[in-house]
Structure 1
């Protein structure tokens, strides 16, 4: 899946000379947690999060709170910004979210910001890919990793006239050379499918009911 499919666009930005007060108002009004910061050429120069604002205020708050709220964003913004391109794969930027512990990634075309992807966008994408928003059942199968396994599974469900909504595969940490296949099927009762899978020699380890 490409980033351009899940990004928010157009994206709200603030100028580097705008104030903490401006950022707080924008976040409150639009329920944002991250705001990209641009310069006079509308080029990305930084990003500010609600956490940055919260950390900055106590450190600069003195006798006159109004002065602290008037501090320019270029004084507190993070200038080293992880970015991506609209044609990058969502799976790739997921690594950046995980490794760097960031909450949002601006989407760039050249020097211009064309969108933004947040942790919430990534979660929504995960829910979409797993098909968990749709009614159905989940079946987990332990398999020895081999060629043609998906074909064999597909044939069983084709014969049953049951549609597979999504397939996820991950390593079985308890068995070397084995993987766990998680099937989400468009059937409220998975028992018939489980019976056919077991007849075909598959090890069903976790049948799930209606979700």
Structure 2
């Protein structure tokens, strides 16, 4: 699966001259935490909920020995996105594999990746999009069954197991993959099926020479 199949295409953005208040209001209204900063659809940066919080860390300190001794109160309507956004953020393209995007998010401890094509912003993928994909794959929300099979990476193995499942009249909803740590030449394939009894098909998969490490009705 690639980023272009999962990313959010309905974008909420700001410009560098917009105020922090506008950015904050957009985040609250649309229940989001990240706003790409653009100019003519070209990505300039990204501003996040934590960037806006950070802008007010110093609020309440005295304003540099001001004669009046008044407390400095920052006005978000006068504070510009340009001064607080993250420039040159990490990005992906629509063709980036989901696994690679997830690894970038994990390694860099970020919450979202803008998606660009020909230097233009075309979408955004967030950690919540990734979580939603995982939840869907695992069948946590939908009533479904699952069979986890270890097999060699050659496509013929996948085709053979899929054929066994289909011949039992079972519908494959989705398939996920993960490395098999005990053998780098193999992978674990997670077959999510419409809710069914899996005992019979598991026996046939194992009879065909494949290892089933887990099944769930």
| TM-score scaled by length of structure 2 | 0.77
Change (3 A) 1:199 1:187: farther
Task: Give the Å deviation of 1:134.
Answer: 4.2
Deviations 1:106-140 (A, max 9, x none): 23344432322222223333445x37254321122
1:60 is displaced (CA, Å) by 4.5
1:37 equivalent in alignment to 2:37: yes
Match of 1:64 in 2: 72
**What TM-score do the two structures reach when normalised by structure 1?**
0.79
Q: Give the superposition deviation at 1:28.
A: 1.1
Are 1:141 and 2:140 counterparts?
no
Residue pairs, 1:10-159, within 5 angstroms: 10-39=10-39, 41=40, 43-62=42-61, 63-67=71-75, 70-128=78-136, 130=137, 132=139, 134-143=142-151, 145=152, 147=154, 148-159=156-167
Q: 1:191 aligns with which of 196, 199, 203?
A: 199
* Greater mean alpha carbon deviation, residues 164-173 or residues 43-52: 164-173
Cα deviation, residue 175, structure 1? 5.1
Aligned-pair distance for 1:48?
0.7
Which stretches in structure 1 are left out of the alignment for 5+ residues?
none
Q: Which moved more, 1:95-104 or 1:30-39?
A: 95-104
Contact persistence 1:47–1:77 (CA under 8 A) = yes
2-structure distance, mates of 1:96, 1:208: 31
Kept after mapping to 2: 8 A contact 1:142/1:181? yes
1:163-201: CA deviations, max 9, x gaps?
233333333324565543322222421112123233334
Q: Does 1:200 align with 2:199?
A: no
Q: CA deviation at 1:103?
A: 1.4
Secondary structure at the aligned position of 2:26 is classed as helix
SS at structure 2 position matched to 1:169: strand
What is the CA-CA distance between 1:50 and the residue it aligns to?
Answer: 0.4
**CA RMSD, 1 decimal:** 2.9
Aligned residues: 206
Shift of 1:79: 0.7
Tell me the CA shift for residue 14 of structure 1. 1.6
